[in-house]
């Protein structure tokens, strides 16, 4: 499908707000939170590059995903520097229950798979935007506070990038309906997950 003029607002709201207790749990084991954060940034960069590989016929997606991958790796480098300064090292990857459950909603048809991936990844970035902002507001150390508030702004750009690409490649009504469904599904997942010292 050729690019279309997008007359829709790219911003949307999550259907369930993170309980403030989450930030207290994450702060209580901040080392574990940092390790999970680093893993999230690395995986996000890898995901973006996999999209570049899988969709060679979509130049705008390629450009967006390359920029995204580079920014995610820059964030990974920054988190790793914080970890190394604290004497921390990465743990073996663990499956993220939030991501696992959310990905169960991705359909398998070729077009549906792309649409759902774009929207799911948008929602993940939107949740990251919310939680990094919460963390930034809750931290006392000025540099760390500024770091997480800056990352929250980056997550905002990322979530709107994914939804913009969805509207570019798919009919606007189809995108809006599917986003509505996935937002409901994500809200149910977050509502029922236990709080962890992790981004999600």
| Residue corresponding to tokens 């919460």 | 134
Q: Which two tokens stand for residue 105?
A: 């909603």
Q: Do the Cβ atoms of 159 and 123 come closer than 8 Å?
A: yes
Judged against a pLDDT cut of 80, whether residue 179 lies above it is answered with yes
Fold of the 21-192 domain = Ferritin (1.20.1260)
Judged against a pLDDT cut of 50, whether residue 2 lies above it is answered with no
Confidence category of residue 64, pLDDT binned at 50, 70, 90: very high
Sequence-distant (≥ 6) Cβ neighbours of residue 121 within 8 angstroms: 47, 162
Global confidence as pTM? 0.94
Q: Do the Cβ atoms of 72 and 41 come closer than 8 Å?
A: yes
Judged against a pLDDT cut of 90, whether residue 31 lies above it is answered with yes
The span from the first CA to the last CA of the chain, in angstroms, equals: 34
Confidence category of residue 60, pLDDT binned at 50, 70, 90: very high
Judged against a pLDDT cut of 90, whether residue 6 lies above it is answered with no
Judged against a pLDDT cut of 70, whether residue 7 lies above it is answered with no
pLDDT at 26: 98
| Residue corresponding to tokens 């809750």 | 138
Judged against a pLDDT cut of 70, whether residue 68 lies above it is answered with yes
CA torsion, ordered 128, 47, 59, 178, to nearest 10 deg: -60
Confidence category of residue 93, pLDDT binned at 50, 70, 90: confident
Q: What values do phi and psi take at 11, rounded to 5?
A: -85, 150
pLDDT at 10: 84
Listed by start position, the domains of the chain span 21-192
Sequence-distant (≥ 6) Cβ neighbours of residue 133 within 8 angstroms: 148, 149, 152
pLDDT at 94: 86
pLDDT at 8: 57
């Amino acid at each position: 499908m050729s690019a279309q003029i997008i007359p829709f607002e790219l911003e949307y709201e999550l259907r369930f707000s993170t309980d403030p207790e989450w930030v207290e749990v994450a702060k209580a084991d901040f080392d574990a939170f940092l390790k999970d954060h680093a893993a999230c940034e690395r995986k996000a960069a890898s995901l973006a590059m996999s999209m570049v590989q899988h969709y060679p016929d979509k130049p705008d997606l390629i450009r967006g995903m390359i920029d995204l991958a580079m920014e995610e790796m820059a964030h990974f480098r920054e988190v790793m520097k914080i970890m190394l300064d604290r004497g921390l090292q990465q743990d073996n990857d663990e499956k993220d229950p939030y991501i696992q459950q959310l990905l169960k909603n991705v359909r398998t048809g070729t077009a549906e798979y792309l649409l759902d991936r774009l929207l799911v990844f948008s929602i993940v970035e939107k949740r990251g935007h919310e939680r990094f902002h919460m963390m930034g507001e809750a931290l006392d150390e000025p540099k760390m506070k500024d770091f997480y508030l800056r990352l929250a702004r980056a997550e905002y750009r990322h979530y709107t990038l994914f939804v913009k690409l969805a509207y570019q490649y798919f009919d606007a009504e189809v995108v809006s309906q599917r986003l509505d469904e996935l937002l409901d599904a994500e809200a149910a997942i977050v509502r029922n997950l236990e709080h962890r010292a992790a981004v999600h």
